[in-house]
A and B are shown apart, each in its own frame.
Chain A
Amino acid sequence: MSVLVYTESEEGTFKKIAFEAVSYAKGIADMLGTTVTAVSINVNNTNQLGKYGASKVLQVSNNQLQSFNASAYADTIAQAAKSEASQVVIISSSANSKYLAPLLAVNMEAGFVPNVTELPISTSPFKISSSVFSNKAFAITEITTETKLIGLAKNTFGVLENEISLAVEDFAPSLSESDFNNKVSSLEKVNDKVTIADADIVVSAGRGLKGPENWRMIEELAEILGAATACSKPVSDLGWRPHGEHVGQTGKPVSSNLYIAIGISGAIQHLAGVNSSKVKVVINNDPEAPFFKAADYGIVGDAFEFVPQLIEKLKEFKSNNA
């Protein structure tokens, strides 16, 4: 009957979103008067999950699951949920979790609500709020199935410490051959840079930068902040930056703590993709740029003047606050 949470990892280490998902699961478990069971796949040190409120972890160690496979991972989580008789299952909103979620929902015959931003409004009937229309509205959805699948939006609930004693158990899912119909033949991945999905801070720039040769200062600013770099759609369409950096409605979504937009006017399609970032800073020389209406802080001014200054002052700030 416990609340089951899938704790995502990469190369044997939990992602920050895993701790947020456990914190959230603990919140629901408290509402339901039950405990939290986590399921982890190929993670060595699962003890840390107790810190966020998990009472038990089902630890899966399986060589076939070394690289992500939506079908096999979904089956693993479904079997864990079954063995725990869980009626509420929590996953994150990462690209991988979004990939496996619909497979898992059908497998468990669970009603699925993605992009959830807070704890349920009530558990009987089960009503929960999620963001829709690119964060321009919230919907309250009633889930009528016995099993419920909830996709927690990133950076909404937060990581909450709630130390509890944790029991670690091994769990061996039984996987079928058809789980491995998709085979990854190669992988291209930039490893030395923080990704837009994982970053707490994203530094993004647009056509206001005038040309790809001017991105050095954006990269430098990102480096100082430990941030990911991103860009607007026109910039990726022009080939100034790789497509993987395009954020916005048809690009990647951003849910960072801080989003710094430099020389981006803030077309509605761009805002749709970055709306869920917590704090937005805009540097733009056009005071009429629509982005200022959506921003928290702004500088009306020339990027080529203010960005180098920001880099210098942040270096000072970082050395004073190190």
Chain B
Amino acid sequence: MKILVCISHVPDTTSRINFTEGNSKFDTNDVQFVMNPNDEFGLTRAMWLKEKQGATVHVVNVGGPETEPTLRKALAIGADEAIRVNTPASDGFNVAKQLANITNEGEYDLIICGRESIDYNGGMVPGMIAKLTGANFVNMCINIEVEGTNVTAAREIDGGKEIINTSLPLVLAGQKGIVQEADLRIPNMRGIMQARSKPLNVKEPIDINTQTKITSFSKPDSKGAVKLVDNVDELIKLLHQEAKVI
């Protein structure tokens, strides 16, 4: 089985969100970038599949050279090869097109993504790859077992979960649950040393027509200070009369 894990390189959750160049660009000054948390769950699951039944695991990212440390980390965790598509991750469709191209070229059986990146929160790339390549698709995936080309996956739904029977080739959008947080792999020294000699291939992007373009950013108005009360009567009164939510 050939597995492709798609990795986003995103600002750490605790980053200050600021914009530059007339509010048209995200300000990366003093921002620490990390592997997208939803993708980390999927990467660990890929390692489990590799160890349990044998698989090659490649990781891919669409972005400039500054994203390579995140790919090296994925190699240190255990991926066999990394690919970087050398173009900025401008919009979801562009990223999906590039990844669909990599998927077709590499003839991957299973494509593991995260359910959304924590920066733009689009959640569209996994489904778009599936539709573009003709693969099956499971969103918000919290479990997967593969036997031959048969797949049993679990999807989180409102108030529960459903079990889906499907087949490879498959794109899944993973999240916490596909492995638990406590099970997340982190690189060890041996992995870090090995990662240095693993291939990281840079590929030039294919040409596409962009569909959407962010023209500017803004930040929400700063919110007023919290109203502190010292008794529940007052709280109920405020929620009823002022906030009108009960």
Residue B98 at the chain A interface, CB threshold 8 Å: no
Residue A258 at the chain B interface, CB threshold 8 Å: yes
Residue in chain B with minimal CB distance to A191: B159
Residue B137 at the chain A interface, CB threshold 8 Å: yes
Q: A111-B93, A138-B218, A292-B226 are in contact. Are A187 and B236 (CB under 8 A)?
A: no
With an 8 Å Cβ cutoff, the count of chain A residues facing the other chain is 89
Query: Which of B11, B236, B245 is within 8 Å of A313, CB to CB?
Result: B236
Residue in chain A with minimal CB distance to B153: A182
Inter-subunit contact A279/B232 (CB<8 Å): no
Inter-subunit contact A189/B232 (CB<8 Å): no
Query: Which of A185, A296, A299 is within 8 Å of B243, CB to CB?
Result: A296
Query: Which of B152, B175, B213 is within 8 Å of A250, CB to CB?
Result: B175
* Main DSSP-derived SS at the B contact region: mixed
Contacts of B212 in A (CB 8 A): 111-113, 141-145
Q: A95-B158, A99-B127, A184-B162 are in contact. Are A250 and B37 (CB under 8 A)?
A: yes
- Interface residues of chain B, those whose CB is within 8 Å of chain A, are 11, 13-14, 17, 19, 37-38, 41, 92-93, 96, 118-128, 130-132, 136-140, 152, 156-167, 175-177, 180-182, 210-220, 223-224, 226-233, 235-236, 238-240, 243, 245-246
Q: A99-B127, A258-B246, A268-B13 are in contact. Are A183 and B165 (CB under 8 A)?
A: yes
Residue A167 at the chain B interface, CB threshold 8 Å: no
Inter-subunit contact A197/B158 (CB<8 Å): yes
Contacts of B233 in A (CB 8 A): 313
Closest chain B CB from A245 CB (angstroms) = 10
Query: Which of B127, B175, B235 is within 8 Å of A310, CB to CB?
Result: B235
Contact residues, A66-90 vs B (CB, 8 A): 70-71
Q: Report which residue of B120, B177, B224, B246 has the largest number of chain A beta carbons within 10 angstroms of its beta carbon.
A: B246
Question: Number of residue pairs across A and B with beta carbons under 8 Å?
Answer: 244
Q: A140-B215, A182-B138, A196-B158 are in contact. Are A107 and B243 (CB under 8 A)?
A: no
29 A-B residue pairings within 8 Å (CB atoms) = A70-B127, A71-B137, A99-B139, A101-B127, A102-B131, A103-B127, A106-B132, A114-B122, A133-B11, A136-B17, A137-B220, A184-B165, A185-B165, A189-B159, A190-B159, A193-B159, A201-B245, A237-B181, A257-B245, A269-B13, A272-B118, A278-B243, A279-B239, A293-B226, A297-B239, A300-B228, A306-B232, A310-B235, A313-B232
Residue in chain A with minimal CB distance to B175: A250
Residue in chain A with minimal CB distance to B129: A102
Residue in chain B with minimal CB distance to A139: B214
Residue A92 at the chain B interface, CB threshold 8 Å: no
* Main DSSP-derived SS at the A contact region: mixed
Inter-subunit contact B137/A141 (CB<8 Å): no
Inter-subunit contact B124/A114 (CB<8 Å): yes
With A140-B215, A182-B166 given, name 7 new contacts (CB 8 A).
A107-B131, A114-B122, A138-B219, A139-B120, A139-B216, A140-B218, A249-B118
Inter-subunit contact B236/A314 (CB<8 Å): yes
Inter-subunit contact A141/B230 (CB<8 Å): no
Inter-subunit contact B165/A99 (CB<8 Å): no
Residue A301 at the chain B interface, CB threshold 8 Å: yes
